[in-house]
Amino acid sequence: MHIPDGYLGPITCVAGFAAMIPVWTIASNRVKKTLQAKQVPLMAIGAAFSFVIMMFNVPIPGGTTGHAVGAVLAAILLGPWAATLSVSVALVLQAILFGDGGITAIGANCFNMAFVLPFTGYAFYKIISGNSPATSIRRVIGAGFGGYIGLVIASLCAGIEFGLQPILHHTASGQALYCPYGLKTSVLAMVAGHALVFGWVELLVTALVVKFLQKQEPSLLRVELEVVK
Amino acid sequence: MKITTKLWLGLGTLAALSPIGLYLPDKFKAGDAWGEWGGDKIKELVGYVPTGFEKISSLWHAAMPDYVFKGWEEKGFGHLSFAYIISAIVGILLCAIGAWLLGKLLVKKEA
């Protein structure tokens, strides 16, 4: 889901940054107010986990590859605003150092994977887990489906961004200037891959880590309750 | 053992296992991620290279494109795996330092 340089035209690139600058600003303010000093190491681990889990490319045989992002896990442990910052750190580093995702597309990629993903996933986690105790199975199920739905909705956003390009930018003869595939193809390709395969990887990863934390350190899963106060 | 220590060990394990993310797509002939093709592949798919794409796609030269050292692209799975693990370690450390500094900066301001 890392949109490279050259696939998005100037309008979408600028829109991506225009959307993310207020998000990053609000996230910083919210984190300033709610993050406790003891949670800072978790923010670091969240960013590092997101980075490395994205390296686990999963194949659709004969087709394409994708991966989990780990953003909903960060949202569960730190709240969605801190997750936005953590995943943004990973995405910026991937773009600058490893050329994974374009420099011009950092805004759009962060919008999809560091904003839409943790927020939608976290919302579903909250709906499913409700006020259940930190060790409840509802937390594991909520984490898993939060991860799945978050990743699929993020892929829908990426598909729309790809698919808008031939409408926004084309030559007089109809050749695309940037991404050549229209909305129908782009959205279908992005959503199908993530709904059928990659979303399940995010589901598994998020649920397993929450399950592990329930056994090892359930207090981490209560952090969000303190944050809300 | 502190939970953060356990999580760090988990991250180290993931870095060591990261070549799985290289091996599986190759083994199952999965090709590139959708929408992450190079110019040649786009030409193969739609018959032309979009002119805007051609201009912007080579704008940035990353230090380790695709998690490989420059010149190692054709060196085989062993070398690629080594570079991938190094990339994972470097990425984990830099992400952790970056997010940690950001967190420290924000939390400190409040005090």
Q: Name the residue of chain B whose CA is nearest to A190's CA.
A: B34
CA–CA separation, A108 vs A102, rounded Å? 10
What pLDDT does residue A26 have?
Answer: 97
- Dihedral angle over CA of A89, A110, A72, A151, nearest 10: -140
Q: Is the Cβ–Cβ distance between B18 and B10 less than 8 Å?
A: no
Between A206 and A35, residue with greater pLDDT = A206
What pLDDT does residue B71 have?
Answer: 85
Q: Is the Cβ–Cβ distance between B19 and B85 less than 8 Å?
A: yes
pTM: 0.95
Residue A136 sits at the chain B interface (C-beta within 8 Å): no
CA–CA separation, A162 vs A146, rounded Å? 24
β-pair partners for A59:
A65
CA–CA separation, A157 vs A180, rounded Å? 17
What pLDDT does residue B109 have?
Answer: 53
What pLDDT does residue A229 have?
Answer: 39
Chain B interface mutation, best of A45, A58, A197, A212, highest count of B Cβ atoms under 10 Å: A45
CA–CA separation, B51 vs B54, rounded Å? 5
What pLDDT does residue B74 have?
Answer: 85
- pLDDT mean values, one per 10 residues, chain B (111 residues): 94 97 92 94 95 94 91 88 96 98 82 47
ipTM above 0.90, yes or no: yes
Name chain B contacts of A175, Cβ cutoff 8 Å.
48, 50-51
Write out residues 59-98 of B within 8 Å (CB-CB) of A.
Answer: 59-67, 84, 87-88, 90-98
Task: Give the gap in angstroms from C-alpha B26 to the nearest C-alpha of chain A.
Answer: 8
- Dihedral angle over CA of A87, A125, A31, A1, nearest 10: 20
What's the whole-number average pLDDT of chain A? Answer: 95
What pLDDT does residue A228 have?
Answer: 46
Q: Which domains does chain A show, CATH number per domain?
A: 10-228 (1.10.1760.20)
Name chain B contacts of A28, Cβ cutoff 8 Å.
106
Residue B12 sits at the chain A interface (C-beta within 8 Å): no
